[in-house]
């Protein structure tokens, strides 16, 4: 489970320092998400859980007459986003919780998110707030991971930890895979006041490492963020060395042409406000 305190603290700070590699890891998915989000005219958009701002910035550049607001509860991530978007005058980044945020005289016609909505502690209430604050017929477009079994990088890396330190899994708890079940997600959105809920399955290359030493790059990435990073940091020297050796062996199997790319599976979910 990843909760608000994690994003406001250590997790948010780590993702802020790693935005270049996290953006790279999602690059194939981001292109598909932006294509869906930008398929219709945009005047006002809200990016939920905007992180370091990549989606907000891309929308602001592609739609210079639109106003974009990126929301995240992490001050560190918003700081990174503001720095990246300093030259753009049509994008604003705010430290705020999309679950209860309302913009003064700002009713979005697009609500978008790249993997930022799975962390709501009360998703029905959060999506209801977004629907109530949106313009009529507003589009909702977001991405989220499909099941763990369709994202072997996540299950495999976690399985390399010592058996007694395997993370406990609550499929409905806030976290990366909380929206894997499409029936659950459709139920949440429908209860929150959204209609025309649709799912597009997207398979993409989850890029973990690149460059002359792509293996070392991928290793340090997974030791920094991801399904095993926090637990791996608590291991003693011998256990950590053994874990790293197992991790290297797993990653080496996907090393090709200065790239470590693993199989990723996501939903792009769309809906409209009623």
Return the CATH number at 54: 3.40.50.150
Q: Which residues contact 213 (CB under 8 A, 6 or more apart)?
A: none
Distance in angstroms (rounded) separating the CA atoms of residues 154 and 152 = 5
Asked if the structure places residue 219 within a domain, the reply is: no
232 domain residue, yes or no: no
Q: What is the DSSP string of 58-105?
A: HHHHH-TTSEEEEEES-HHHHHHHHHHTTT-SSEEEEE--TTT--BTT
Q: Decide if 138 is inside a domain.
A: yes
Q: Is the pLDDT of residue 239 over 70?
A: yes
**Is pLDDT above 60 for 105?**
yes
Q: Which residues contact 250 (CB under 8 A, 6 or more apart)?
A: 156, 157, 160
Q: Give pLDDT, residue 8.
A: 67
Q: Is residue 242 part of a domain?
A: no
Who has greater pLDDT, 16 or 191?
Answer: 191
User: What digits encode the pLDDT tens for the residues 181-236?
Assistant: 999 999 999 999 999 999 999 999 999 999 999 999 999 999 998 878 888 999 99
Pick from 53-67, 162-176, 218-232: least confident = 162-176
36 within a domain of the structure (yes/no)? yes
Lowest mean pLDDT among 3-7, 54-58, 62-66, 264-268: 3-7
Distance (Å, rounded) from C-alpha 151 to C-alpha 82? 31
Is pLDDT above 90 for 11? no
What does pLDDT average to over the chain? 93
pLDDT digit string, tens, across residues 71-91: 999 999 999 999 999 999 999
User: Does the residue 116 lie in any domain?
Assistant: yes
pTM of the model: 0.93
Rounded CA-CA distance 16/52 in Å is 6
Query: Could you give the number of structural domains in the chain?
Result: 1
Q: Which secondary-structure segment (H or E) carries 161?
A: none
Residue 25 belongs to domain spanning: 4-146+169-205+265-273
In a domain, 229, yes or no: no
Q: Is residue 47 part of a domain?
A: yes
């Amino acid at each position: 489970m990843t909760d608000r305190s994690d994003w406001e603290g250590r997790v948010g700070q780590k993702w802020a320092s790693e935005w270049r590699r996290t953006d790279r890891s999602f690059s194939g998915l981001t292109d598909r998400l932006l294509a869906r989000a930008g398929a219709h005219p945009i005047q006002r958009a809200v990016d939920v859980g905007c992180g370091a701002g990549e989606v907000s910035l891309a929308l602001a550049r592609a739609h210079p007459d639109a106003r974009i607001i990126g929301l995240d509860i992490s001050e560190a991530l918003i700081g990174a986003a503001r720095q990246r978007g300093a030259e753009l005058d049509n994008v604003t980044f705010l430290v705020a919780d999309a679950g209860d945020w309302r913009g003064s005289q700002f009713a979005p016609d697009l609500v978008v998110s790249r993997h930022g909505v799975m962390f709501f502690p009360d998703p029905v209430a959060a999506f209801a707030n977004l629907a109530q604050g949106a313009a009529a017929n507003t589009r909702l477009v977001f991405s989220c991971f499909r099941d763990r079994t369709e994202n072997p990088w996540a299950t495999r890396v976690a399985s390399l930890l010592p058996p007694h330190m395997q993370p406990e899994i609550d499929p409905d708890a806030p976290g990366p895979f909380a929206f894997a079940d499409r029936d659950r997600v459709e139920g949440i959105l429908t209860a929150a006041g959204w209609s025309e809920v649709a799912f597009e399955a997207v398979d993409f290359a989850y890029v973990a490492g690149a460059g002359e030493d792509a293996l070392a790059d991928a290793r340090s990435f997974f030791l920094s963020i991801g399904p095993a990073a926090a637990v791996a940091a608590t291991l003693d020297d011998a256990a950590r060395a053994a874990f790293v050796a197992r991790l290297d062996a797993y990653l080496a199997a996907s090393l090709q042409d200065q790239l470590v790319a693993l199989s990723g599976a996501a939903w792009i979910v769309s809906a409209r406000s009623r």
